[in-house]
Chain A
Amino acid sequence: METKYILDENDLPRQWYNIQADLPVPPLSPSYNPQTKTPIGPADLAPPIFAKELIRQEVSTKRYIDIPPLKCGTSSLSGDHLPPSTVPGGWRNS
């Protein structure tokens, strides 16, 4: 019996799926500024803390968002068969 199903590299997703487009009770409630306790928009999340593109993704309600091409790959230091799932966040931040 076949027990292992490995996707070909060409079949890997090219777009992320954003469930914010499909919420049963949209939209997600706003977050609030920790000091002023007022609703925050993208501007409040701005650098210096998060990278700009991540903030756009954070508030997007588009159903699909293109996965950008890998700029700089590394071998796997941890021995995982695939790079860990946090890597896209890492290089997208750079």
Chain B
Amino acid sequence: MLGGADCVASPSSETNAGRAMLGLDPETSGSLGGMAISEAVEDAASHANTNYTLGSVLNHVCLHQSVIGLETLEQLKMAGEETADVVVGCAGGGSNFAGLAFPFMRERLAGRMPDCQFIATEPSACPTLTKGLYAYDFGDVSGYTPIMQMYTLGHGFVPPSIHAGGLRYHGMAPLVSLLHHEGLVDSVSCHQNEVFAAAVAFCRSEGIIVAPESAHAIKTVMDVASECTRTGEAKTIVFNCSGHGNFDLSSYEAYFAGALPDYEYPAELIAASLKDLPAIH
């Protein structure tokens, strides 16, 4: 809008996919991957002058984001650190986590950081890595995207409307999924009130307002650091602040007003949507 682009909320009435989803539930809260991706793919496929730039999940997005980890390795050297002990990122579709973690994973796999631990943090309301299946599934609700082997909550899963909208995705980058499946990446999930509490503590100590998505990583970093305090261990903890929270002040306001619900693990919804996985043999 500011830049002169047209902007519509998904699901919209401008695509077949969007109209179908509104037909099923006119009040739907939408979802990042599920619904917005279906609409974008349909638009790209039906206009000759339009390509689609996916912002997460795919291998080439993880590739581009590798600058995050490559730069962090250099910056660690400047800070006099040879290795990291724990690498933390939030995970929606997995791209900022992959971007930070993969260059460190290169070091671990090459034996230069053999003990480096990797933790992806996700919302308890959309627990793809912690509670999902490692299976073949579509990347979007309408089944337009290729079917990928990944952790998934089912492509039809509509996550509860938590404020970290960027983490409301049913799937996970196949590359992150593979490394998680192989035991090289760990995962944890957090509720949004504890996540906002961590973000507020971070703001008060560092003067940085972080995005609700990034606050998931901060919650984990604080947990790891508290554990170090308890055990007396010294660890180098690296995390990625994937975005600022300047546009999320109304979410902070809702947190301070005590108006944020913590959604329980939506087990029944996930079980229902996992019934619709495509059959691949």
Chain A residues closer than 8 Å to B55, beta-carbon distance: 86, 89
Q: A69 to nearest B CB, angstroms?
A: 14
Determine the distance from Cα of A90 to Cα of B103 in the docked complex, in whole angstroms. 22
| Residues of A with C-beta under 8 A to B45 | 48-49
| CB <8 Å contact, B279 and A28 | no
* B68 and A48 contact, CB distance less than 8 A: no
Are B64 and A89 in contact, CB atoms less than 8 angstroms apart? yes
Within 8 A of A (CB), among B77-120: 78-79, 95-96, 98-99, 102-103, 105-106, 109-110
- In the complex, the chain B residue whose C-beta lies closest to that of A34 is B143
Whether A28 pairs with B106 at a CB distance below 8 angstroms is no
**List of A residues within 8 angstroms of B223 by Cβ:** none
Residues of A1-51 at the interface with B, using a CB-CB cut-off of 8 Å, are 2, 5-7, 11-13, 16-20, 22-25, 28-29, 31-34, 37, 40, 44-45, 47-51
The reply to whether A85 and B64 contact each other, CB–CB distance below 8 Å, is yes
CA of A23 to CA of B54 in the docked complex: distance in angstroms? Answer: 23
In contact, A28 and B59 (Cβ under 8 angstroms): yes
Cα(A65)–Cα(B53), bound, Å: 19
Q: Which of B38-87 contact A (CB under 8 A)?
A: 41, 44-45, 47-48, 50-55, 58-71, 74-75, 78-79
Bound complex: CA A29 to CA B53 (Å):
22
When the two chains form their complex, are residues B2 and A77 in contact, meaning their CB atoms are under 8 A apart? Answer: yes
A23 vs B258: C-alpha distance in the bound complex, in angstroms? 45
- In the complex, which residues 207-238 of chain B have their Cβ closer than 8 Å to any Cβ of chain A? none
Any B CB within 8 A of the CB of A79: yes
B99, B146, B148 — which one has the most chain A CB atoms within 10 A of its CB? B146
Q: Determine if B201 is an interface residue (Cβ-Cβ < 8 Å).
A: no
Q: Which residues of A contact B (CB under 8 A)?
A: 2, 5-7, 11-13, 16-20, 22-25, 28-29, 31-34, 37, 40, 44-45, 47-51, 54-55, 57-59, 65, 67, 77-80, 84-86, 88-90, 92-93
* Nearest 10 pairs of A and B residues by beta carbon: A31-B146, A57-B60, A32-B147, A17-B66, A5-B78, A5-B75, A13-B70, A19-B102, A29-B149, A88-B64
Given contacts A16-B70, A22-B109, A93-B51, 5 further A-B contacts (CB under 8 A): A19-B66, A22-B105, A34-B145, A37-B280, A49-B41
Q: List 30 A-B contacts (CB under 8 A).
A: A5-B75, A7-B71, A12-B67, A16-B64, A16-B70, A17-B103, A18-B59, A19-B106, A24-B182, A25-B182, A29-B149, A29-B174, A31-B149, A33-B146, A34-B138, A34-B143, A37-B280, A48-B44, A49-B52, A50-B54, A55-B60, A57-B63, A58-B58, A67-B67, A78-B244, A80-B244, A85-B242, A89-B54, A89-B60, A93-B53
